[in-house]
Structure 1
Amino acid sequence: MQTTRTLVMIYSLAPSRQARDKHVFGSRNQQAAVTLFDRLEGRIQSVAGKTGLPMMIIHDHQQRGTTFGERYAAAFTQVFSLGYDQVISVGNDIPALSEHHILLAKEGLDSGQTVFGPSRDGGDYLIALSKSAFEEKSFASMPWRTDRLHEALLLLFAKTSPVNCLEYLVDIDSAEALVDSMTQALDFIFRKFLRALLKSLVKIEFNRTFQLNSLPLLFAGPRRAPPQITPYMH
């Protein structure tokens, strides 16, 4: 029997798959994208480790199911079956995610809440659920990978528990999202890595999915605070 009730589950596509699917730097710069997502995955493992909570890394292809929702729901079921009764799930593509966000989610779970971290594309970068609030079939049927996901999750879980939301963060799905992420509070080490990676790409002819006129934004510091959200309480 587990002595720690809560586990951090890093659930995502493998870095090589993300690089292939997202074309952040254009189709001719896949190796740079692999480098980016490898670094992001290493970063989120470090962030999760700093919380002191047990951690499990699960890639999408390791789960059963024909849809993303079925595979993601199966991952939660797998963790709950190990004896944990609280799961904080995060992706590996959120540059501004810190251990503070994960610990806030744990505080919410410990007080009986379901906690979400909304992303600016309408999804969620963090989903924190208790075993008692989770039902695999309804969770799998959510509109995953659409801009309706966050609102659908709020409606589903508000039926059974208080729901709370963290601040908005950006997940990296495109060149534009990468630009947007640089307006948030990134840690110094990752910002330094990203600047070096981008400078190396300046020497390469960017294709039209990543325009050179975006670079001044990428080398700037945070310019605005993330939008505020009022906690959604049942």
Structure 2
Amino acid sequence: MNKQTAILIFANSGKKTLHSKRISDYEFFNIIDTKTLEVVKKTGLPFFHFSEDQQIGFSFGERFSNAIASVFEKGYQNIITIGNDIPNLNTKILNKAEKHLENKSHVLGPSTDGGFYLMGFQQRDFNKEEFASLPWETKRLKQSFIDVLASKNLNFSFLETLTDIDASADIDAVLKSSRFLNKFLKSLLSKLTAFSKHFITPNRTVYKIHCISYLFNKGSPFLLHI
């Protein structure tokens, strides 16, 4: 195996996350899925996609930790994990994450909601049970994970902070830092903003890609590219 680092896209399919049949939502999911894959492919790293069909476990933490462990079992020494709800993610950020891992440093991409849009791990330091027990989907996640790394004297580095799309209020934040968005995606986000101002309160969830609960979904990991 030439590459020591793999990328894990841990994200439910857009079809599973739709809360309505508005065509703009469906277009958004398709476009951002495609954009995420394009960004990942440009890194040249092998990558795997775990959608709801491949995830195993009851809680989000269990499903996420099982997916990471499954990729490590294939022989990779480092894993970069991302979702598919980060419009401003780009190849430069992923390449920077790889370099940090190669330099023996765990890497974290903080999101504006108190979580992470990217987490990079080294196989030798990954503890599946401990990782699954973190306070996922809460504002305590970021500090809790940093405390775990610090307690073990592990090196870690931060990437730039980005906004993932969890609620209508996030759309404006993404548009204000939209230098990496293509014109069509920017236009689509603008339309969703207009819709949310009329029908959705600012902090109400519009769509949630990688933290929706699906019970005990089984399947084999899907290698997308080597």
**What is the CA–CA distance in structure 2 between the aligned matches of 1:35 and 1:17, rounded to whole Å?**
14
Correspondence 1:164 to 2:157: yes
CA distance in 2 between partners of 1:152 and 1:201 (Å): 33
Deviation by residue 1:80-125 (Cα, 9 ceiling, x = unmatched): 0111111000110001111111111111101110100000000000
Shift of 1:204: 11
Contact 2:56–2:63, Cα closer than 8 Å, also in 1: yes
Partner of 2:172: 179
- Check the 8 A contact 2:171/2:193 in 1, yes or no: no
Give the partner amino acid of 2:93: H
In 2, distance between residues paired with 1:42 and 1:50?
A: 13
How much has 1:61 moved relative to structure 2? 4.5
1:60·1:68 contact (CA, 8 Å) conserved in 2? no
The alpha-carbon deviation at position 168 of structure 1 amounts to 0.6
Correspondence for 2:43: 51
Q: Which amino acid aligns with 1:39?
A: I
**How big is each residue's C-alpha offset from its partner over 1:163-182, in whole Å with a ceiling of 9 and x where there is no partner?**
11111100000111111111
Aligned residue number for residue 10 of structure 2: 11
Measure the CA separation in 1 of the matches of 2:105 and 2:167: 32
Other structure's SS at 1:170 match: coil
Which position in structure 2 is the counterpart of 1:94? 86
Structure 1 portions without partners, runs of 5+: 21-26, 211-234
Please name the residue that 1:114 is paired with.
106
Give the SS at the match of 1:84: coil
Q: CA RMSD in A?
A: 2.3
Q: How do residues 126-137 of structure 1 correspond to structure 2 at under 5 angstroms? A: 126-137=118-129
Could you tell me whether the CA contact under 8 Å between 1:32 and 1:197 is conserved in 2? no
Distance 1:78 1:160, change over 3 A: farther
Please show how residues 69-80 of structure 1 align to structure 2 within 5 Å. Answer: 69-80=61-72
TM-score after normalising by structure 2 = 0.82
- Is residue 2:116 matched to residue 1:124? yes
Letter in 2 for 1:164: S
Q: How far is 1:193 from its partner?
A: 2.9
CA distance in 1, matches of 2:168, 2:195: 17
Match of 1:40 among 4, 12, 32: 32
2:59 is matched with which residue? Answer: 67
> Percent same amino acid among aligned pairs?
30
Q: Whole-Å Cα distance in 1 between the matches of residues 94 and 196 of structure 2? A: 37
> RCO greater where, 1 or 2, for CA within 8 Å and sep 6 or more?
2
1:193 counterpart residue number: 185
TM-score normalized with structure 1 length: 0.79
